[in-house]
Amino acid sequence: SSSSRKGAVEGCGTALRSVPSAGTPRGIAAQQCPLVRVPTCCSARVVSCAAFHVIVRMSFPRFLEKCNRSQSGSPLLTLHLVALNTPLSGDMRGIRGADFQCYQQARAMGLLSTYRAFLSSHLQDLATVVKKGERFSLPIVNLKGEVLFINWMAIFSGDGGAFEPRVPIYSFDGRNVMTDPSWPQKMVWHGSSAAGIRTTSGYCEAWRAGDAAVTGQASALQSGRLLGQHTRGCSNRFVVLCVENSYVAEPRRT
């Protein structure tokens, strides 16, 4: 009955809210209860909070693996978050210049999807970079397919884009930006509020300024957050991330 279902969902919400870590899938589920969107690979786009509780108890990465195995060899649908191969100052020749570097480096590695810069600017809010239909339904993974976020919108849930810092973020050429000395400053540009909205003075004059006197918003990766609110001079050379903004199936080999 509808009343018993409502009671089950409310009970699940209470149980999930007792889990303190908001950056984990359980914490995210608590914030999105009673309806939680899950990856499309298991057919259901939306499940009850109670059903999702079963999923997160076995841990989200394990759920994805199980889900993937159940699809008779079909690839798991995901969106990748990858860093450019070199750190950049705030002068990226504008947001279009940053987007072009994402596109160019992805293509150089044989990646067919469109990648866009993980940045807010005067033209866009970071939260809108991924296409609307895929913001809730696909997990965000690193270059090797390891889960960083349950979905795109989980990054903007209010916890500063918290992720597990032991899960590496790789560049397009396969280096771990968290440990590789090519990125001496473990900071990432984003130009956003914690909610993924552009900040008026946070994007280095539309990502065209590389002067120390001009500032942009950045985050310390080693803190385990992509949207930490640190104001830094635009002469700094930080990590720039690119996100696959919609899923594109790989062509079948004949």
Measured CA to CA, the distance from residue 55 to residue 60 in angstroms comes to 7
For residue 210, give both structure tokens: 């590389």
CATH of domain 79-244: 3.10.100.10
Amino acid letter, 239: V
Nearest to 218 by CA among 179, 248, 183: 183
39 has a pLDDT exceeding 60? no
- Summarize pLDDT for 60-79 with one digit per residue, the tens: 555 555 444 444 444 568 99
- Which ranges in the chain are annotated with CATH 3.10.100.10? 79-244
Q: Is the pLDDT of residue 90 over 60?
A: yes
> What is the distance between the terminal CA atoms of the chain, rounded to a whole angstrom?
50
**Mean pLDDT of the 119-144 span:** 94
Q: Considering the entire predicted model, what is its pTM?
A: 0.74
Q: What is the pLDDT of residue 19?
A: 32
C-alpha 235/C-alpha 162 separation (Å) is: 26
pLDDT tens-digit map of 13-37: 333 333 333 334 444 444 443 333 4
Q: Which of 224, 221, 183, 225 is nearest to 88 (CA)?
A: 183
> What values do phi and psi take at 97, rounded to 5?
-65, -40
